[in-house]
Structure 1
C-alpha cells in the first residue's frame, strides 16, 4: 500500500496544496512551524477522520474559511482508491459535510462506513496505525516509555492477538458466571433439603390443634377483664370532676393573693417615681439658668444687642450676602488663574509635541534614505537574477534538440511508454508461467522415460503409441525461452526510453517553473522602481515638514511664558479673598452658637412642663390601683368560705384506687392480648409452614435438574477458556521470537557501538539490552539519542513483523516518521539514515520522513519543500531535485 497524492483546500495553514508522492524515501523539508506535520496529519485524517485528530474538527478549518477539503489517492493490493472529505464550519462548530471512499469494488458514503472499511482494509484502526507505521512528532519514545503491559496490549492488538484475549476473557466470564450460578444452585439445593428435613421432624398438624384451643380460652379471659375495667373507669371520671371543681377555686384564691401583693408593690413604686420626677425638674431649672448666662456672654462677643430670633436672622442674612459677594469674586479669580495656567501648559505641551514630531520626521527621512539605498542594491540583484533565469531556460530547452519528442509533448509520450511497459511486464509474467509449466512437464516425462513409462498415459514405453510427444514439449520449452528473452529485451528497452523521457518531462516542468519565476521577477522589478521613486519624494517632504514644526514650537514656547505670568497675578488675588471668607465663616459660627443655646433653653422648658404632667398622671394611677385592691380582697374572703376540704380528700382516695386497678387490669389485658396475638401468629405460621413444606419439595426437584445441567456447561466453558489461552500463548511466543530476531537484526545494522551485544524480549514484551560484558540494562538507562534510536529500531522491527504477517504477507501502509531527529545528535542521525536505507532494502515500498536535518535530506529519493508566507500566514509545497537546489 502507498500514498499517490494528497490535495488540501483550507486545511489548517494550507489554502490550496496538491502534492504527488512516489515510491522510495520522500523527505518533507521546511522551517519549524511551516506546516510540514500538517501534511501527514491530513493523510491520517483522510483515512480515519476525526479519530485521527488530537483536537476538534473546528481547528482544522482555516481561520476565516467556511469549509475545508482533503482528498487522498492511494494504491492497495493492486487497486486504486480515492477518499474525499469536506468539513463545513458554521459559527463555533464544524461537521462533516461529505465523506466518500471510491474503491475498485464500489463506493462507500458516510464517515462511519468509510472508517470501518479502511480499518477492515488495513486490518488496523487509527490507534494501531499510530503504534505501527506513523511515528508522530514528540512520540518517538512512545513504545519504550510504555509499561510492559501497555506495550503488550499495543503489539497484541496489531498482531490480532487481542481478539483471542477478548474471546478467552469472554469464556472466562462465562465460566465464572456458570460457576457462580452452579454454586448458588448447589447451596440452594442443600438448604432446601435441610429445610424439608427440619419441617418434617415437627408435628405441624398436632401443634395447630393445641394452638386453636389456647386461643379460645384467652379470648374469654379478655372479655371478662374488659367489663371490670369499664366500671373502674367510671369511678375514676367522677372523682376527677370533683377534684377539678375544687382545683379551680384553689387556683383562683392563689391568683387573687398574687394580684393583691402585686398591686401593693406597684402603688409603692409609683410613689417613689413621683419623688424622682420632682428632683429631675429641679435640676432642669438650674441648667436653664446656666444657659441664659452663656447667651449673654456670647452676645458681648458679637455686634448684636439682643438674642431674639429676628435679630439673629437679620445678622445671618447680612453675613450671607457678604459671603456670596466674596465667593463670586473668589470663583472669578480662581477661574482666571486656572485658565491662564492651562493655556500656558497646553502651549508648552504643544511645543514639546511639535519638537518630537519634527524629530520623528527627520528620523523617518533618514530611515527612508537607508531603505532607498538597500532597495537600489536589491533591484540590481533582481536584474542579474532575471539574466540567470533567461540563461537556464535556454539551457533546458536545448535538451530537446536531439530528443525523440518536441517540447510540450514529453508528458503524453511518457504516459504511452508506461502503458506499453505495463503490457510488456504482463507478457513477461505470462510467458514465464508458461515456461515453468512446460519445463515441469518435460522433467516429469524424462523421469517416466527413465523408469520405462510413457509420459502421456504412464504405460510401458514398448506398448505406448505416445512416446514422441516429449520432443514437442522440449521444442515448446525452447520457443518459450526465446520468446521470454525477447520480451525481457523489449522491457529493458522501454525502461531505458522511460528514463530518458522522464528527464525530458522534468526539463519541461523546470522551464514552466522558470518562466513563471521570470514573470514574477519582472513584476517585482517594476514595483520596486516605483517604490524607490516614491520614497525619495517622501524624504524631501519629511525634511521640509520638520523645519516648519521646529519654527512653530519656538513661537508657542514664548506665548506660554507670558500666560504663566498672568496666572501668577490671579493666584495672589485668590489668597486675599480666601482670608476674607474665613472671617465671615467665623462670625456666622458665633451667631449659630447663640441660636443653638436658645434652642436648648426652649427644649429644657418643654421638658420641665412634661415632668409636671407626669407627676399628675402618676397620682391618678395610684388612686385607681387602690380601688382595685379593695375589690380583690373582698372576692378572696367570699371564696375562702365555700371551700370543703373533706370532700376533696374523699375524691382523691377514690381516684387513687381506680387508677391503681386500671393500671393492673390494663397490664393483664395487654398480656392476654399479646398472648392471643401470639397464638394467632403461631397458628398462621404453622399453616404457612405446612404450605411451605409442599413448596420446598417442588423446588428441590427443579433445582436438582438445574444443577445437573450447569455442571455439564461449566466443564465445557473451562475447556473453551483453556483453548483460547493456549492458542494466544503459542501465537505470542512465535511472534516474540520473530520480533526479537528482527529487532536484533535492525539494531545490529544501524547501531555501530561495541558496548552492546544483543537485545532480549520476553513473553510479556519486557525489553532488556545486554552489554558486551553480559551486564543487563533497562532501555531507560540509555542516553536520549540511544533511546530514541532504539525505539525507532523497535518500531521498524514491528513493521517488518506485520509486513510478513501471521500467515503470508499482510497489507501495510507507508512507514511515516515525523521529526524523528528531535532527540538525536549528528552521530545518531547517520545511524537513522542507515535504518531508513535498511527498511527500503527490506522491501518497504514507501517511506515518508518529515525533517529539517540536511543529512536526512541528502538520503531522499524525492524532496518536498514546505514554506510559509509571513504576510498571509499560508503554507505551500513544491518538489526539489537535490539538496543543493533545496537549500539554494
Structure 2
C-alpha cells in the first residue's frame, strides 16, 4: 500500500490542505504544536473512521467554529487504485458522518461500517493492528516493551493473525461444553424413559386387556338377543300400521270418489254450454266468408286479366357488350298494363297465383336489368373518379420528384464546397504535423523515443537523489567525527583512540577527516549540479513527450478527415445519379397522368348513354306494379276465404268432439258410482280395532327393550374405552421403548461428538503454538538483523525472543538484560527495531507476500539523544533498502531532515491558529552540522 494524496478541509487545525506523498522517505517537519501529527491522524481517520479516535469523538475532529469537515485519501494497494472520502457535519452539539465512500475502481462502497470492513479486509489488519505495526504514534514508541506479557502476546498474535486460531480454539471449547450439556440432558432423559418403561411393564397390561375383552364379548351377546326380539316387535307394529293405513286409504278414496262424481257432473253441463257457443261462432264466420268472396270477385274484374297471354313484343335494353338484358312481355310500355281481355272473377286462386308469379318474374327481370345498368353506371363513374385522382397523384409525384432533384442539385453544390474546404484542412494538418515533428531536429533523440528517454532520465534522477542522500549522510557522519575529534584534541587526547596525545601516533587523523569532508562536499555539489541538469532535461523530455502526443492526435485527425473525404466523394457521385433518375421519373409520371385523363373522358361518355336506357326501364316497371298490387290483394283474400272455411270446419269438428267427450264422461260417472258402492261394502270396523291394539303392544315392548339396550350398549362402550385405554398404555410402552433406543443412540453420537470437539480444541491450541513458534523464530531472526544494523560493533550481541514473546537482550559478554534495563534512547531504538521486524515479517506474509501500508513514525526521536538519532536514520535507511516503498517520518528534529527524499514543512499561523503545508528540498547535511 502507498498513500498518494491526502486532502483536508476544516480538520482540526487545518482549514484547507492538500498533500501529495511520493515514493521513498517523506519527512514532515515543523515545530512542536504546528500540526504535523494531525496529518497522520487524518490518514488513520480516513482509513478507520471513529475507530481511529481512541477516547475522542467526532466533535473533536471538526475545526473549532466550523460546521463541517472533510477528509479525502487516495492510495494504491496491490496494484489497484482506491479513494476514501469522509464528510462530517455538526448538528447541535454532536457531529455525525454524512458521507463515507470508498471507490475501488470496480465498485463504490458506501457507509462508515462497510468502508471500515472493506479497509480491514484489504490491509488484513484492523485499527489496533495498524497502530501496533505500521503506525507508531507519538508517545507510543515503547508501547510493546511496556505492555504486559499477556497484552504483548495478544498484540503480536493479532498482527500475525494467530488470534483467529485462539478464537477457533475457544469456539471448539464452547462447542465441547455445549455438547457436554446436551449429552448430560440426554442421559437424564434416558434414565427417565427407562424408569417409565419399567413402571408400565409392572402393571400387567396384557392380563387386564384379556379380561376386558371377555366381558365385552358377553355384553355383545346380550345386545344381539334383545335386538332380535326388538326386530320381531317392529314387524308386528309394521303389520298393524299397514292395516290401519289401508283403512285410512279406503276412507280417503271414498271421499275422493264423491268429489270426482260431483266434478264430472259439473263438467258435462259446462261442455254442453260450449257446444252452443261454437254453433253461434260458425254462423258468424259464414257471413264473413261471403263478404270476402264478393271483394275478390271485384278485384279480379278490375285487373282485366286473361289466362294464356302470348308474348310478342320485347324491349331491348342492352347497354354495351358486357350488359345484355332482353325483356319479352305483353305489356304496354307506356302504362305497364296487360292488353288482353278480362279474367273471369270465378277464376281459381291457383290461376291468379300463377299470373302473379309470372308478372313478378317479369318485374324481377326488369329490376335485374335496371340494377345492371345502375351498377355499370356506378362502375363507370368510379373508374372516371379513380383515373382522375390517379392522374392528380401522378402529377403531384412528378412535381415532388422535380423538387427533390432541385434539392439534390443544391446539396451537390454544398458538398463540392465542403470537399474543397476539407482538402484544405487536410493540407493544413499535414503542415502542422511537419512543424511539430521539426521540434525534434535539435533534440538529442529521434521522434518516437521521447517516452523511453524520459523514463531513463527519471531513473537517473532517482539514482542521483539516492547518491546525494548517501553523500549527505556521510558528510553528517564525518562532520560529527571531526567535531568529536576536535573536542578530544582540545582535551589533550588523540581523536582516533582517545589516549593522551604524547602517547599516540594518530594525531594527524583529524586532518585526513577534514580532507575527506572536503571531498564529500565537492562530490555533493557535483551531485546537486547533476540533479539540477537532470531536472532541466526531464522538463525538456516532458515537452517532447507532449509533442509526440500532439503529433499522434493530429495524425489521427488527418486520417479521419481523409477517410471522410473519400466517403464524401462517393456520396457526391451517387447523388448526381439520383438527381438524373428523379428527373427522368418525373417525365414518365407526367405522361401517365395525361393518358389517365383521356381514358376518363371516354368512360364518362359511355356512362351518359347508360343513364338514358335506365329511364325507359323505370317507366315500364311502374304500370306493372299496379296490376301486381290488385292481384296480390285478390290472392290474400283467397287465403282468408280458405282460412275461414277451415275455421268453420274446425269448429264443427270441435263441437262433435265435445259431444263425444260428454258421452265418455257419462260412462266414467257411472263407473265411479259403482266403485263407491263397492268400497262402502268392504269397510270392517272389528279388524281395524284389532290392528290398533297390536300396534300399542308392539310400541310399548320396543320402548322397554330400547332402555335395556341403551344400558347394555353404554356398558359395552365403557368396556371398549377401558380396552382402548389399556391398548394406549401398551402403545405408549412401545413408544417409550423406541424413544429409549433413540436416546441411547443419540447419547452414543454425542459422546463421539464430545471427543471430536475435545480433539479439535487441542488441535487448534497445538497449531497456534506451532505457528507462534515458527513466527517467533522468524521474528527473532528479523529483529536481530534489524538490531545489528542499528548497533553495529556496539556492546550488544543478540536478542532472544521466547514462545511467549518475552524479550531478552544479551551483551557482548553474554550478560542478559531485560529491555527495561536499557537506557531511554536504547529502549526506544529497541522498540522501533521490534516494530520494524514485525513490519518485515508481515511484509513477507502470513499467507504469502502481503502489500503492507506505509511505515509511519510519529515523533520517534522523543526519547533519543543525538547519537541515537543517527542510529534511527540508519534504521530508516535499512528499511528502505529492504524494500519498504513508503516511509513517513513526523518530527521537529532537524537531524532527520537529511534522511528525507521528500520534505514537507508545517507551520501554524499564530493569528488564525491554522496550519499550512509547504513542500521543500532537504537541506545540505553540512549546513545542518554547521548549525
TM-score (norm 2): 0.44
Q: Pick the structure with greater CA Rg.
A: 2
User: What is the TM-score when the length of structure 1 is the normalising length?
Assistant: 0.45
